[in-house]
A and B are shown apart, each in its own frame.
Chain A
Amino acid sequence: MSFDAIVDNLPLYLSGAWTTLRLLAMSLALGLLAAIPLGVMRASSRRRWWVPVGCFTFVVRGTPLLVQLFLLYYGLAQFEAVRASVLWPLLSSAWFCAVAAFGINTCAYTTEIIAGAIRATPAGEVEAARSVGMSWGLMVRRILLPSALRRALPAYGNEVVLMLHATSLASIVTLLDLTGAARDVNSRFFLPFPAFITAALFYLGITFVLVALFRRAEARWSRHLHARS
């Protein structure tokens, strides 16, 4: 088995890894930012708050990411109004559609993770905040979220790794991410084993780094939750 083609194409893999990381960072940032308010709404006991958010997470979590990506990338072109709009150059780009689809997808999962962490908040924490006269907004900002986000950390770490793997779908809509680089090498040299195993090793490496980062984050922020050994 010849690895010469892989060595020659290492720059392609590296730029692919960079694309993968940028896709991941952008969609995670987008998803997390939207998921924090949505998570609070999802955990609320008021119907008009949790029902719409619940519908959103149900639909997104119940359908494959590939369908969501195709709906944005191929589907939007069906509407004349979209094609005529000033935003069309943006909306028709694979990069934008991939980030939007991944961002919406991770947002739905993260919303449920955060909502679950909020529901697990000890009632005493909220009662204490109320008893010292905190307003609702202040209580959410200073007590509820700092406590819940810490509890959400392990599950969110999993979500980040799953999202890293999900970004491989970008190669289906022509983007040259890590998987795209591997597919390109495979189609030019027909070396499936070296081509895809190299990409797999890159993904494994990134996964291990992410897992290590989350372990450190947990050691730092969730120290009070771990029993002293």
Chain B
Amino acid sequence: MLHGYLPSLLEGLCLTLGVALASLAVAVLLGLAGAAAKLSRSAFWRRSATVYTTLIRGVPDLVLMLLIFYGGQLAVNEIALHLGIDDTIDIDPFVAGVATLGFIFGAYLTETFRGAILAIPHGQAEAGLAFGMRPLQVFRRIVLPQMLRLALPGFANNWLVLVKSTALVSVIGLTDMMQKAGQAAGATREPFTFYLAAAVGYLLITSVSVVVLRALEKRWSAGVKAVSL
């Protein structure tokens, strides 16, 4: 099947998943930091977070990715030159891809997490503080467990968009599923077959994700009465 290119495509699928998961980890950290900044009492942090989310959501992923890939390359080499290192340093496309996607989806998750935190009655955090918990303890024991459930629908959406956005890393030279499909297409002159195979691969990831996330939503909402119209 697929002229023996199936293993190569599966390798690409693994890399695509790797990029997606690594970016997700970066995005979750940035999203939590962003949400904390947006809800903070300091006007400086609130404003910085607003600038971050507005800028990122107003510019295409591809432009940001090219900017970080080429620009980052230049910046790293400038810095290296100043430090007296003569060798040119190549930025790994994996690092550039993960950094860009993490940075972009951090902005989207900021909004998701902010909304989820706001949806938790304020009295709960106050009650925690009144019991003498430290702010981090309140976050870990009271806010986070409830936030997970509330943030899940938005989180699921962002994950699905993120998986599809990883296809762009092929543009900066990463051998993900798109790139592997392109190589096979070039060698066999059957581009339709191989891009279709790549499409099936993405569809597989997104459908499995939907099933898992739906099960998770059901499980986490076990104690919540649903509104019926």
Q: Which chain A residues (91-126) contact chain B, with CB distance < 8 Å?
A: none
Contact of B190 among A78, A186, A199 (CB under 8 A): A78
Contact of B59 among A77, A79, A204 (CB under 8 A): A204
A67 to B199, CA, bound (A): 6
A119 to B108, CA, bound (A): 27
Contact, CB under 8 Å: B71 / A193: yes
Contact, CB under 8 Å: B195 / A70: yes
**Could you say which of B38-46, B81-89, B136-144, B202-210 contacts chain A?**
B202-210
Total chain A interface residues with beta-carbon distance under 8 A? 40
A55 to B101, CA, bound (A): 28
Contact, CB under 8 Å: A62 / B191: no
Closest Cβ–Cβ distance, residue A107 to chain B (whole Å): 16
Supposing A63-B202, A75-B196 touch, asked if A192 and B191 sit within 8 A by C-beta, the answer is no
**A199 — which chain B residues lie within 8 A by C-beta?**
63
Residues 179-203 of chain A: 1 if any B CB is under 8 Å from the residue's CB, otherwise 0?
A: 1001100100010110011011001
Total chain B interface residues with beta-carbon distance under 8 A? 39
Q: Which of B58, B164, B178 has the most CB of A within 10 A?
A: B58
A169 interface residue per 8 A CB criterion: yes
Contact, CB under 8 Å: A168 / B62: yes
Query: Which residues in B have some Cβ–Cβ distance to A below 8 Å?
Result: 55, 57-64, 66-67, 70-71, 73-74, 160, 164-168, 170-171, 178, 182, 185, 189-193, 195-196, 198-199, 202-203, 206-207
Pairs A–B under 8 Å by Cβ, sample size 27: A62-B203, A62-B206, A63-B202, A63-B203, A64-B202, A65-B164, A66-B170, A67-B178, A70-B191, A74-B192, A75-B192, A79-B192, A161-B58, A165-B62, A166-B60, A172-B62, A179-B60, A179-B66, A186-B66, A192-B70, A192-B74, A193-B67, A196-B71, A197-B67, A204-B58, A207-B57, A208-B58
Query: Which residues in A have some Cβ–Cβ distance to B below 8 Å?
Result: 59, 62-68, 70-71, 74-79, 161, 164-169, 171-172, 179, 182-183, 186, 190, 192-193, 196-197, 199-200, 203-204, 207-208
